[in-house]
Structure 1
């Protein structure tokens, strides 16, 4: 039965889907230990270069060089463990120093202390997060008092937490120190190595995602004044239109088009960053819930500190993003209204043009009738002349009659004949025009029926 699956068609991503849940396993970290975490923003070229830089580290330390790039790579080099992870817009390095400790200051020895000289300086990418995590064992030795911890954070104000229902104690300042790194101090009171690894990973993710979340705040601050100016300009323009003031429609449409282009430019620059901020904020909230913190007397917990300082920044970014969307919708509505005004003005001009053309047509028709009357008289005059020549020829042939009376009698007959002929021609062309109009209407109805069908 175990070979049955081999005879079935399987999805090409099936193995990847199974492996995705295990691509970033929790680490097992003993106590004491020293950890250094780096998060670097990279493009695709820098990401590939980082893997080559990681291969170079294996060559320096004399280990087998990895050939396949993975989402999460972990290797132990004696007392040094390195974990490299690829994320959507950044990569992260976690260096864990497992060597015996020899200094009472928890931040003198660091996770990067065992790295070869010069390797870290050549790491490609832009550093966003960089901090040390010092892990101390408090299961046998008592942890120090808060006033004893403060010097290790250069006398900065501390944030204290007792996560996992008091099984550990965490101290941090959420600030950069003189070495350019942040610091976290963790005392293990009742946790196994696996539990400690999960706790450290949550703390590392909270600090990394906190900084990635705040990347959008400068964008929000830069964009907000420009949005305020456009908002005021749009409100003033809408007020002018509402009061039925005469405005230059083409100038207003040009201004609205320029405003819409600016908004779209802002959205193109900020949409990804604001969306990422919301995603990182959601991850931070979930990680904070997993900490299950207890309060340390006299100190803010990590959850309280971040809720007070980080969430307002997230709300600011969300407000600017929503303001961009709202302003875009309002510009679209005003643009639609202006286009309607322009279309109505064009229709009014068309009506006036048609009325003018109708008046000209009537004048031309009257002139045509006048010309037709004159042409009847002119044609009759020439025909009467021809008839007169005919009568003289007949009279000269010896037929006795009064030429004057005969010529006079032919005048009304010729006039009537010419008028009837002219009217007949006029009616003929009028019938042709009506037939063409009827054929056009029939073709239009046929096309409409085809469209409906």
Structure 2
């Protein structure tokens, strides 16, 4: 009998894990073709609106609407192929004109030329990348003439290379043109449709990820002056602590707390953006490595251009991110030193307070002994007074008493008894305090 998995426990994500590797297949593109790639930053609310917008395209073109959103959607409507990919921060749309007119000038007809009028204008989200890719076969020496290429890039400085060991030539400017789009021209020498599709996909990803990685650069430039200011304040505070100046510790601690709060606010606002920049930059470098470019005489290759322009910008963002972390650690250390000084000052004050209380206790004890002496006399005086009243009452009742003799004997006796009683109570309280 054949083996079967029906009796085994299957992980609920097993199918999804298999499908993940095949969710974004490479394009298979003919030559010639016209490609337009648009990437828009989206919010969760805009994602729902974009899916409804995609359903509207199906209705306009007379095709059944999709009923479920997927991470990578692709559909061919005659000569128009539409591909929509969902990413963490953005959604990308690729429109491919599979049968363009070969007699027209490059970029006169694009991937969005076959879209219904007004449909693209209703796309929600914020456009971060938008560019056309012109795919054509090499048709003689005239196609390779730089003057021919330049006239379709509006005279902007070209970046060009020969990827895949000369199987094609790629030209671009990495700048915006008069129509608001970027432009690439790919001249196919001897690539198959699948190879051309992979090359085009890498170009789209390089340009999109390049722009996404640069989103943190304005934030880094905006943050740097404030970091300089906080750095100087922190240096002054640290120097005053090192010099053991007579400083107002609570005031400095409050200032350090304010600096720490501002740093944490910057970190909360920028940590994700800086981390995303590093991730996008690594993706760009991986796609550039896959191009396997050869240099075209007199022009920067795409890898050289990115290394010269993109890498310093990413390094700037990384430097600001590291500086934020360094400032946070330094503020923590300065705060710890300040708290230590404050705690030592408080301990010194507590010690002085305890010493003062000890002196007061001794004074009170001495006063208590003095009061005890007076209290013995006072209590004896009142007891003798009561005894005198009792003797007078007995004398008036007919008892023959020597009042003066009795009182004379009673005074030292009562005084001794009162003194012993007061001392007994005093020692009893002392024993109770020690036991407690």
Q: TM-score range by the shorter chain?
A: over 0.9
1 CA distance for matches of 2:321 and 2:379?
A: 83
1:423 alignment counterpart: 423
**Structure 2: where are the runs of 5+ without partners?**
none
2:254 alignment counterpart: 254
1:102-161 Cα deviation digits (max 9, x unpaired): 434211111111111111111111110000000111277874222321111111111111
Closer, same or farther: CA 102–163 of 1 in aligned 2, 3 Å: closer
**Structure 1: where are the runs of 5+ without partners?**
437-453
Cα deviation for residue 307 of structure 1 reads 0.2
Closer, same or farther: CA 228–101 of 1 in aligned 2, 3 Å: same
1:264 alignment counterpart: 264
Q: Secondary structure at the match of 1:6?
A: coil
1 CA distance for matches of 2:313 and 2:171?
A: 23
| Aligned residues of 1:139 and 1:188 also touching (Cα < 8 A) | no
Pair 1:273 & 2:273 matched: yes
1:307 alignment counterpart: 307
Closer, same or farther: CA 412–107 of 1 in aligned 2, 3 Å: same
| Aligned residues of 2:33 and 2:98 also touching (Cα < 8 A) | yes
Q: TM-score, normalized by length of structure 2?
A: 0.96
The worse-fitting range, judged by mean Cα deviation, of 326-335 and 276-285 is: 326-335
1:324-358 Cα deviation digits (max 9, x unpaired): 11111111111122122222222222122222221
1:33-432 equivalences under 5 Å are: 33-138=33-138, 143-389=143-389, 403-432=403-432
Closer, same or farther: CA 263–114 of 1 in aligned 2, 3 Å: same
2 CA distance for matches of 1:225 and 1:2?
A: 71
Cα deviation for residue 390 of structure 1 reads 5.2
2 CA distance for matches of 1:97 and 1:2?
A: 49
2 CA distance for matches of 1:302 and 1:89?
A: 25
1:21-45 Cα deviation digits (max 9, x unpaired): 0000001001111100000001011
Q: Secondary structure at the match of 2:70?
A: coil
| Aligned residues of 2:142 and 2:148 also touching (Cα < 8 A) | no
1:448 alignment counterpart: none
| Aligned residues of 1:37 and 1:132 also touching (Cα < 8 A) | yes
| Aligned residues of 1:167 and 1:188 also touching (Cα < 8 A) | yes
1 CA distance for matches of 2:271 and 2:403?
A: 104
Q: CA RMSD in A?
A: 1.8
Closer, same or farther: CA 154–379 of 1 in aligned 2, 3 Å: same
Q: Secondary structure at the match of 1:153?
A: coil
| Aligned residues of 1:33 and 1:98 also touching (Cα < 8 A) | yes
Cα deviation for residue 312 of structure 1 reads 0.2
The worse-fitting range, judged by mean Cα deviation, of 14-23 and 391-400 is: 391-400
